[in-house]
Structure 1
Amino acid sequence: MERLQKVIAQSGITSRRKAEKLMEQGLVEVNGKVVTELGTKVSPEDEVKVQGVPIEKEKKLYFLLYKPRGVITSVSDDKHRKTVADFFEQYQERLFPVGRLDYDTSGILIMTNDGEFTNLLLHPSHQINKEYIVKTEGIPDREKLQLFKKGIKSEGDVLKAKYVKVMSVDSKKKTAIVKIVLHQGKNRQIRRMFEWLGTPVQKLKREKFGFLTLDGLTAGEHRELTPQEIAELKKLAK
């Protein structure tokens, strides 16, 4: 659900401020009824008319981005750092990220302008696998590592992993490569888990989101999701 004046502005026919004036003048209808209340919210299914003419709804877009390190998962940044939105400047539609990846984390990120789709994928009850590869400073204790599956407490949260395994160890450099699969999406979750373990994260990359992978992409590149992939994601979430 979004504010009516915002939906009108997104259609491209006028600005948000002018849309509000049109509403106050009784020139906006929702499902055949005149709406003058500025706080009114509408869904994608509602029919909106401005001065008797139906507005064109923004085309829904869905992309898979290979987010590089050193990029903010946001549509803007007051410190003028590069954001994920900068990779989609050629599109008129306002795209936003589905979930977050830390500034120093790379990997799969879905970008869309479909709020309903975003909420579906992010809802806590929809346990979609998200697979990460972690390079640690220090070699984690394998037995303690398995405690992640039971859950560990950090800053008032219980942080859990569905799967965790040490893939390789470099005894000379005292580093390890660990695969970890999450359902949760807590702030800095993996970094907090490995800090708790005493082996901080050196590098972190999300390699899978559900069945989606980074195959064919290099850092900073994106591709459009296919209709089949979109349908499968919705099915996976439901």
Structure 2
Amino acid sequence: MTARRPPHSPHTAAVPRHGLARVLSKLGVCSRSQAERAVREGRVSVDGRIVLDPERPADAERQHICLDGQLVAAVTRVYLMLNKPRGIVVSAADERGRDTVYHLLASAGLPWLGPVGRLDKASEGLLLLSNDSVWAARLTEPRHHVDKTYHVQVDCIPDAALLEQLTAGVVDQGERLMARHVVLLRSGEKHAWLEIVLDEGRNRHIRRLLAAHHINVLRLIRVAVGSLALGDLAKGQWRHLSAEEVSRLSSG
């Protein structure tokens, strides 16, 4: 009688755990959507054969994966913060030809980097970019509740009752929108600055929350993500994060 091979025998071939597009993204060579497009365009091969299915299982440790004929290997992880100016688009390319954050990085000789979260065109301030998709997901997934702090100029002088309503939240387009914390920083005759902290970020979250209370946003600046503050970094400038900052963000 032939003995059965135990289920964890070293002779048992390992089954690749991720689809090809995700493998490319995790290696840090491009975004998930860029990888899916490259695969469908026939630009990716596995062990010498073109693969057209982005979800086909692949294993970078055991297979030769090539993009545009070049062997793919994990790139050096890069983590940086940028002070995004107002009017700049957070996108790799813009169909209307507007300037993107990548124009600010064009001469830096950096590998592909993806934005960690978003800021709309009219917003400004702290934007993180990295080619570490696992780290980025840790900061952006709602279940991790990483605080984002904003300074927001509004066209009114909010009272205490209104500040409480902003933390109580509203339902807009089927989504619950609320602030974790709101304080009045300073006010003039017609305008005021608020500090608003979110622990999740929906599309145009603050603008929609304030609009529900008939408040217009004049300026919106993200000043911190978790424990990382924008500080005195000039508009349009960027810097690498320290290893301590990277670790603190992912553990916070």
| TM-score when normalising by structure 2 | 0.77
Q: Could you give the per-residue CA deviations for residues 5-43 of structure 1, whole angstroms, max 9, x where no partner exists? A: 9579949xxx976754x53xx536xxxxxx967432547
- Residue in structure 2 matched with residue 57 of structure 1 by the alignment: 74
- Residue in structure 2 matched with residue 218 of structure 1 by the alignment: 234
Question: Alpha carbons of 1:204 and 1:92: their partners in 2 closer, same or farther (altered >3 Å)?
Answer: closer
Question: Alpha carbons of 1:176 and 1:57: their partners in 2 closer, same or farther (altered >3 Å)?
Answer: same
Question: Alpha carbons of 1:18 and 1:36: their partners in 2 closer, same or farther (altered >3 Å)?
Answer: closer
| Deviation for aligned residue 1:134 | 0.8
| Deviation for aligned residue 1:206 | 0.5
Q: Distance in 2 between matches of 1:103 and 1:131?
A: 18
Unaligned runs of 5+ in 1: 29-34
- Residue in structure 1 matched with residue 160 of structure 2 by the alignment: 142
The CA RMSD over aligned residues, in Å, is 2.9
Q: Distance in 2 between matches of 1:207 and 1:72?
A: 18
**Alignment equivalent of 1:151, drawn from 166, 169, 172:** 169
Question: Alpha carbons of 1:214 and 1:42: their partners in 2 closer, same or farther (altered >3 Å)?
Answer: farther
Q: Distance in 1 between matches of 2:85 and 2:238?
A: 11
AA matched with 2:239:
R
Secondary structure in structure 1 of the residue aligned to 2:64: strand
- Residue in structure 2 matched with residue 230 of structure 1 by the alignment: 246
- Residue in structure 2 matched with residue 119 of structure 1 by the alignment: 137
- Residue in structure 1 matched with residue 89 of structure 2 by the alignment: 72
- Residue in structure 1 matched with residue 10 of structure 2 by the alignment: none
| Deviation for aligned residue 1:232 | 1.2
Question: Alpha carbons of 1:168 and 1:86: their partners in 2 closer, same or farther (altered >3 Å)?
Answer: same
Q: Distance in 1 between matches of 2:213 and 2:100?
A: 31
Question: Alpha carbons of 1:147 and 1:10: their partners in 2 closer, same or farther (altered >3 Å)?
Answer: closer
Secondary structure in structure 2 of the residue aligned to 1:121: helix
Q: Could you give the per-residue CA deviations for residues 107-139 of structure 1, whole angstroms, max 9, x where no partner exists? A: 101001111111111111111111111111122
Is 1:63–1:111's contact at 8 Å kept on the other side of the alignment?
A: yes
**Alignment equivalent of 2:111, drawn from 87, 93, 113:** 93
| Deviation for aligned residue 1:154 | 1.6
Question: Alpha carbons of 1:5 and 1:193: their partners in 2 closer, same or farther (altered >3 Å)?
Answer: closer
| Deviation for aligned residue 1:57 | 1.7
Q: Distance in 1 between matches of 2:178 and 2:29?
A: 39
Is 1:149–1:164's contact at 8 Å kept on the other side of the alignment?
A: yes
Identity percentage of aligned residues:
27
Is 1:67–1:219's contact at 8 Å kept on the other side of the alignment?
A: yes
Secondary structure in structure 2 of the residue aligned to 1:164: strand
Secondary structure in structure 2 of the residue aligned to 1:82: coil
Question: Alpha carbons of 1:42 and 1:118: their partners in 2 closer, same or farther (altered >3 Å)?
Answer: farther
Question: Alpha carbons of 1:42 and 1:179: their partners in 2 closer, same or farther (altered >3 Å)?
Answer: farther
Q: Distance in 1 between matches of 2:73 and 2:210?
A: 48
Q: Distance in 2 between matches of 1:226 and 1:163?
A: 28
Secondary structure in structure 1 of the residue aligned to 2:212: helix
1:167 aligns with 2:185: yes
Q: Distance in 2 between matches of 1:37 and 1:82?
A: 32
AA matched with 2:243:
P
Is 1:73–1:83's contact at 8 Å kept on the other side of the alignment?
A: yes
Q: Distance in 2 between matches of 1:79 and 1:48?
A: 40
| TM-score when normalising by structure 1 | 0.81
AA matched with 1:208:
A
